[in-house]
Amino acid sequence: MAAHEAFHSVVSVAFLQKLKKDIDYSAPDFNLLYFLQNVAEEGIADLIDKPLLLQTNSPLYKEVKQLTAGDESLSITLIKRLDSVLTLANRSEKVLRQYSGFAALASAFGKNGGHVPGRFMGNVIKKAGLLQTHIDAVEDPVSFLLTYNEAAKQNGRKYPCFSNESVQYLQKLKTKYWQE
């Protein structure tokens, strides 16, 4: 669990260092990017501790098992919902105004601070053998979503993929806020 939290410490600082200067941190689209950062961080951080905590000899096995129950079906629902809002935002960012900040986005498109759907997405990435692809850009939440998308496609589209319009919007967000 300490390694999970240490990961957050390192990656959240790296994320902030990659942002352009003088951005509006209260902008609806930035709140969305920040929410996606939380999903991405939790998705990778949970790969660090959850496999150990979900072993039957773990002292926290029952608690973690209960915490993660139903993750897949809820994650699939949340990914589809997120794809829908990303697609709509690509057409008009006005759609994001209905979410009053990070908390509203986290409530609408995630659970437990982004652990769901992040944990599910991280596992799909790992099972597809694409973890290193994202680790090379671990501070970039767009990389996480695009790597998940590639992993989902490799999996015969068993899991939901982000539409081309969603991917276009993610690229717009990155261009707007990210230093290259």
pLDDT in tens, 9-59: 999 999 999 999 999 999 999 999 999 999 999 999 999 999 888 889 989
As given in the structure block, the two tokens for residue 60 are 């926290």
pTM of the predicted protein model: 0.94
Averaged confidence pLDDT in the chain: 94
Q: Which value, to the nearest 10 degrees, does the dihedral of the CA atoms of residues 54, 135, 35, 72 take?
A: -40
Q: Which amino acid is at 153?
A: K
Tally of structural domains, the chain: 1
pLDDT at res. 116 = 96
Give me the domain span that covers residue 79: 2-177
93-119: average pLDDT: 93
| 157: pLDDT strictly greater than 80 | no
Amino acid of residue 49: D
Q: Quote the pLDDT of residue 150.
A: 96
Give the lowest-confidence range in 51-60, 74-83, 117-126, 137-146: 51-60
Terminal CA-to-CA distance of the chain, rounded, Å? 32
Alpha carbon 58 to its chain centroid, in Å, reads 26
Task: Over range 115-140, report the average pLDDT.
Answer: 96
